[in-house]
Amino acid sequence: MGQDEFQVISKYFQRSTEDSAVLLGIGDDAAVVEVAGPMVVTTDTMVSGVHFPSETSGDVVGYRVLAANLSDLAAMGAEPRWCTLALTMENAQDEWLAKFSNGFFDLAYEYGVSLIGGDLTRGPLVVTAQLFGVGKKDHLLTRSGGNVDDQIYVTGSLGDSVAGLSLINKGIADASDRHQVLKNRFLRPTPRVSEGIAMRGIANAAIDISDGLLADLGHICQASGCGAVIDVERLPLSEELRTLFSLEEAQNFAICGGEDYELCFTASPDDEPAIKKCLEPSGTKAYPIGQLVKQPGVVCHRSGKPFMPASTGYLHFT
């Protein structure tokens, strides 16, 4: 970034934090934080032209890179706290940077995340965020803790993000509320952070749905050494998705669509009342959609019969 580098940092990224655990933030060779508990770390990179079209508004890029990281920490039952941001750009455009940093900090403030450092380099647009959080000892959620006969749950609703993406890709300029709700589920997904924390000590295994339910539930099964049977008719579908798409399309989006950033978790069937109670403060519901079984692999049922989804692939942005 040449001589502009420090101006860019101070103008767009150096913001004060109220987190007293940040002993040293932006401005030195490295940041220093005081950690009380297991530190949980994740990172996510978004490449222009691969993860988003090059003309995507900066605020969407800034929001989504942090949202993806927040969702990973949610799936671990950890509290997000500190973030670093590595930004590679062709040039330092004020308009893009202003939007990007606003999109990023909107979400950072909402979730109590302090930006404590980063890097700026010149090159094709690539954004990497690394998020640090704190978990509770012996209460971390992992993919590997699932047991045969566990009930499988998903939060919120599935398929909205990929349905919204399909509306964006088709260039449908319908500004009606339903269209907007679905598009926003893609552009500004809500990471289920408080829901993940609420599941500590209850869920046996958890993952966030970033690649699609089938793929991500498959990861739980593989890590837990079991399989899963899910009932397609029990997948939670939003009113918007059901209204704008056929039932078959909606169910396919729900099974295969990625980037909903909902949580998929498993728990003992006895814990259903506890789950309901724990999620009450967040206002989010979790829906039982099937069971973990001995037989490896993920099997879908519809009307009691095995059902093959139309596609298992993830529908990419570009």
Residue ranges that bind ligand ADP, judged by CB under 6 A: 9, 13, 26-29, 85, 87, 115, 117-120
Q: Site size for Mg ion, by CB under 5 A?
A: 1
Stretch that binds Mg ion, among 9-17, 111-119, 131-139, 243-251 (CB under 5 A): 111-119
> Rounded CA gap, 138 and 142, in Å?
11
Q: Is 4 in the site for Mg ion (CB under 5 A)?
A: no
Contacts of 35 (CB under 8 A, 6+ apart): 21, 134
CA atoms within 13 A of residue 1's CA, in its CB half-sphere: 17
Please give the structure tokens belonging to residue 280: 């009450």
> Rounded CA gap, 154 and 208, in Å?
9
| Smallest separation, CB 68 to Mg ion (Å) | 23
296 binds, among Mg ion, ligand ADP, none (CB under 5 to 8 A by kind): none
- 30 or 36: CB nearest Mg ion: 30
| Smallest separation, CB 37 to ligand ADP (Å) | 24
| Smallest separation, CB 119 to Mg ion (Å) | 5
- 123 or 273: CB nearest ligand ADP: 123
| Smallest separation, CB 85 to ligand ADP (Å) | 4
Tell me the Cα Rg of the chain.
20
115 binds, among Mg ion, ligand ADP, none (CB under 5 to 8 A by kind): ligand ADP
65 binds, among Mg ion, ligand ADP, none (CB under 5 to 8 A by kind): none
95 binds, among Mg ion, ligand ADP, none (CB under 5 to 8 A by kind): none
What is the DSSP track for 233-255? GGS---HHHHHHS-HHHHHHHHH
- 5 or 231: CB nearest ligand ADP: 5
| Smallest separation, CB 101 to ligand ADP (Å) | 9
- 120 or 232: CB nearest Mg ion: 120
Spatial contact of 60 and 103, defined as CB atoms under 8 Å apart: yes
Q: Is 119 in the site for Mg ion (CB under 5 A)?
A: yes
Give kind and range of the element (H or E) at residue 290.
strand 286-293
- 101 or 210: CB nearest ligand ADP: 101
- 94 or 119: CB nearest Mg ion: 119
Looking at residue 139, its amino acid is H
What is the DSSP track for 185-245? HHHS----HHHHHHTTTT-SEEEE-SS-HHHHHHHHHHHHT-EEEEEGGGS---HHHHHHS
| Smallest separation, CB 167 to ligand ADP (Å) | 32
Could you tell me the strand order of the sheet in which 114-122 lies?
A: 39-47, 126-134, 79-89, 114-122
> Rounded CA gap, 254 and 155, in Å?
12
13 binds, among Mg ion, ligand ADP, none (CB under 5 to 8 A by kind): ligand ADP
- 131 or 263: CB nearest ligand ADP: 131
Q: How far apart are the first and last CA of the chain?
A: 28
Q: Using CB positions, name the residue nearest to Mg ion.
A: 119
The footprint of Mg ion (CB under 5 A) covers 119
